[in-house]
């Protein structure tokens, strides 16, 4: 979930899953999306305002051009403003129907323009799209801020909220009213006078700064390409890595060359296998310094300005700091609770990382290496340690993990859990030839929606993996079916060759598909609470629990087949994969928690003058030194390219949520393990009922307890990640 455009009617920040990790754009998708929007002369003939005739009324990407967006945004915002004006100035007493339901329906035209635009801005951008993004961000922020601060509108919502107990609402309606009221309050609806004006200004300024931050990261990353000129430059690289490097070169019109880029799927294999330490250092420094170079894309000043504005807004809303504001509406409830969880896991992670470093040191000593272990050595010698101590070769694993078979596996798990089937469609318009589309069909044989998959890295596509929605499910005026998209960034193979991925990359596919199912299986009436519109530290739970099935021996044996022979992964190799599952968990958890520590620390600052003088690198060093960060490990995301933290507010002050959800997913999957059946029908039914289909129809902890039968325990996470010994007998 990434770059912010503004606030939606539900007063969530719009974002596209930035490095996001994972991420999901939260936009209003109303019943009007299923009918042609009102069209004025200014957008006559504009495909964004024509009736969409593709299957499932999917966007006509083949007809949409960059120049269509600005007039479409102008017209859609004008329509939305008129709808809001009509609701706010309605002279009839406020009712749930004429106020809350009316708000749910408002803005459908703008929603579909925004969602379509963000698909292109994230996955197929160009200079024109970037310029529109920069221009529209503050305008959309102002548009949504005006709605959030509309006093007449809030008075109507507030009057309903105060009288909620007498309105005879069903549980879902009560939840929508409560969420709507809370959203307005958190957006500043209770502010008066100059404070209201200042909050609106802050919202606009942040939208521009966060967009600039995101674009700087992408441009800085795209400006780097290491061309492997000689055979010596390619030393140590297996055929699969060279094939991907050749394709990356071809994408840049360097046919016959081999190129290493800063896409993670290019960066990590090179760091793992290259024996050229000097080149590893060069690539590593380019990777870690994205947004922190002496060029036009340096993000240090953007970070300072963003932090100052977020702090100012938090104080206007009555909070000591932005992290307190950010966590007040989550399961954690406070930055102190988030910090406590991170600290609880940190000690075990550091101890495990030290043990991993000792194994690496032994390998280096045996090879006669005399230099000190540096971060650009960790992947390389870590893989050698894994081969030596676990007898596991990453290339042997990847040979059994074709992208095609992993996609079959993710669909098969959904079929066994929820009865879904997937039929590939070739008649749905897409924005790039790499994009594939499947129709999703329920256990009863009814169409649910469309699932789009865009899996390969390319110029003009931002890094990372994310889920987004071209339309969300709801039943406000009949069934509106979701259009859900997954994006990843794997190396595209040479023509005729299969795309081979690592076990971790396979887990990422399952992770994003877990988000996708959260959108596809949504079964609520009101769009504002559909799918992934849940508490920020609960949204990763459906994605992270789905990863567990990719790690299950039964799934690996069935779907991990050698790309040449078609034979299943040998039992001996499978056992090694399972045994080595936590070989690098210490390093992985330390680099993640380090980023979460820094993210929280930035957003717990309370002095704007201190922020104005902030040296970003020195601040990072201070926080990590205090925590006891090992010298051999670099934080997963340094601040100048930390999209989660600074490209939007979806994960700002909230990167900890992946660890919070880690507690939930490990404890939750333990229920299936305890049952003796990883597809236990009763548990699958509860998982569907309380999590995947429920949206935000109940508080997150209530949803988890409804599925699990109790509140979560941190113990399964510590044990599964190798950070604490398993109890006797397990």
d(CA 121, CA 218): 11
Contact 2, 651 (CB under 8 A): no
Sequential DSSP letters for 97-121: IIIIIHHHHTTHHHHHHHHHHHHHH
Catalytic-labelled residue, pool 222, 356, 439, 512? 512
User: CB atoms < 10 A from the CB of 397, how many?
Assistant: 23
Nearest to 230 by CA among 271, 267, 274, 283: 274
Rounded (5°) CA angle 558-564-565: 60
Please state whether beta strands 483-490 and 466-471 pair in parallel, antiparallel, or not at all (unpaired). Answer: antiparallel
Contact 73, 6 (CB under 8 A): no
Element containing residue 553 per DSSP (H, E): helix 553-559
d(CA 432, CA 599): 35
Nearest to 111 by CA among 184, 22, 49: 49
Task: Respond yes or no: is residue 192 known to be catalytic.
Answer: no
What values do phi and psi take at 523, rounded to 5?
-145, 70
Nearest to 139 by CA among 87, 182, 80: 80
d(CA 591, CA 664): 21
User: CB atoms < 10 A from the CB of 438, how many?
Assistant: 18
d(CA 505, CA 216): 26
d(CA 488, CA 145): 32
The token pair at 659 is 């660890």
Residues in a beta bridge with 454: 487
Nearest to 454 by CA among 473, 432, 439, 425: 432
| Catalytic residue annotation | 512
């Amino acid at each position: 979930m990434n770059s912010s455009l503004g606030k939606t009617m539900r007063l969530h920040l719009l974002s596209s899953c930035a490095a996001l990790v994972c991420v999901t754009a939260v936009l209003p998708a109303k019943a009007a999306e299923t009918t042609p929007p009102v069209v004025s002369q200014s957008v006559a003939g504009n495909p964004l305002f024509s009736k969409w005739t593709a299957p499932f009324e999917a966007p006509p990407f083949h007809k949409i051009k960059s120049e269509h967006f600005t007039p479409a945004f102008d017209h859609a915002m004008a329509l939305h403003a008129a709808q809001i004006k009509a609701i706010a100035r309605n002279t009839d007493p406020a009712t749930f129907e004429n106020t809350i339901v009316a708000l749910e329906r408002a803005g459908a035209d703008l929603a579909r323009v925004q969602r379509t635009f963000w698909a292109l801005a994230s996955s197929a951008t160009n200079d024109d799209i970037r310029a529109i993004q920069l221009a529209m961000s503050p305008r959309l922020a102002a548009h949504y801020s005006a709605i959030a601060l509309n006093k007449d509108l809030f008075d109507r919502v507030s009057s309903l909220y105060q009288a909620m107990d007498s309105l005879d609402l069903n549980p879902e309606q009560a939840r929508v009213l409560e969420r709507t009221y809370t959203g307005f309050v958190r957006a500043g609806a209770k502010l008066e006078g100059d404070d209201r004006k200042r909050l609106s200004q802050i919202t606009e300024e942040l939208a521009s700064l966060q967009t600039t931050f995101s674009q700087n990261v992408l441009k800085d990353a795209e400006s780097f390409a290491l061309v492997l000129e000689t055979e010596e430059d390619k030393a140590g690289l297996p055929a699969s890595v060279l094939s991907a490097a050749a394709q990356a070169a071809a994408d840049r019109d360097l046919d016959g060359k081999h190129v290493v880029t800063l896409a993670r799927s290019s960066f990590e294999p090179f760091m793992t296998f290259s024996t050229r330490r000097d080149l590893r250092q060069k690539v590593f420094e380019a990777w870690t310094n994205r947004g922190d170079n002496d060029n036009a894309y340096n993000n240090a000043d953007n970070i300072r300005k963003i932090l100052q504005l977020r702090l100012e807004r938090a104080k206007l809303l009555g909070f000591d700091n932005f992290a307190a504001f950010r966590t007040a509406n989550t399961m954690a409830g406070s930055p102190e609770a988030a910090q406590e969880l991170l600290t609880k896991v940190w000690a075990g992670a550091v101890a495990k990382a030290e043990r991993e470093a000792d194994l690496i040191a032994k390998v280096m000593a045996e090879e006669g290496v005399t230099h000190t272990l540096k971060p650009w050595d960790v992947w390389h010698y870590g893989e050698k340690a894994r081969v030596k101590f676990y007898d596991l070769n990453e290339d042997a694993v990847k040979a059994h993990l074709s992208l095609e078979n992993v996609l079959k596996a993710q669909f098969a798990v959904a079929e066994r859990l929820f009865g879904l089937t997937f039929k590939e469609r070739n008649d749905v318009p897409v924005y790039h030839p790499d994009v594939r589309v499947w129709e999703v069909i329920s256990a009863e044989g009814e169409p649910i929606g469309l699932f789009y998959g865009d899996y390969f890295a390319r110029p003009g596509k931002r890094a990372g993996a994310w889920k987004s929605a071209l339309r969300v499910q709801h039943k406000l005026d009949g069934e509106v079916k979701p259009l859900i998209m997954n994006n990843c960034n794997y190396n595209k193979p040479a023509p005729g060759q299969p795309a081979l991925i690592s076990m971790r990359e396979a887990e990422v596919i399952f992770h994003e598909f877990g988000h996708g199912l959260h959108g596809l299986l949504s079964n609520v009436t009101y769009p504002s609470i559909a799918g992934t519109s849940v508490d920020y530290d609960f949204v990763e739970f459906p994605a992270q629990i789905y990863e567990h099935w990719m790690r299950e021996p039964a799934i690996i044996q069935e779907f991990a087949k050698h790309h040449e022979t078609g034979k299943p992964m040998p039992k001996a190799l499978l056992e090694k994969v399972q045994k080595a599952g936590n070989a690098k968990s210490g390093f992985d958890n330390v680099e993640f928690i380090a980023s979460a520590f820094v993210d929280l620390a930035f957003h717990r600052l309370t002095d704007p003058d201190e922020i104005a003088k902030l040296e970003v690198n020195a601040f990072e060093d201070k926080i990590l030194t205090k925590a006891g960060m090992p010298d051999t490990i670099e934080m997963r995301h340094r601040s100048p390219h930390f999209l989660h933290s600074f490209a939007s507010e979806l994960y700002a002050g909230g990167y900890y949520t992946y660890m919070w959800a880690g507690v939930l997913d490990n404890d939750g999957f333990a229920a299936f393990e305890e049952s003796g059946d990883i597809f236990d029908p009763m548990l699958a039914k509860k998982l569907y009922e309380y999590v995947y289909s429920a949206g935000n129809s109940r508080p997150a902890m209530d949803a988890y307890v409804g599925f699990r039968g109790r509140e979560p325990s941190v113990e399964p996470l510590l044990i599964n990640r190798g950070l604490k010994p398993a109890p006797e007998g397990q």
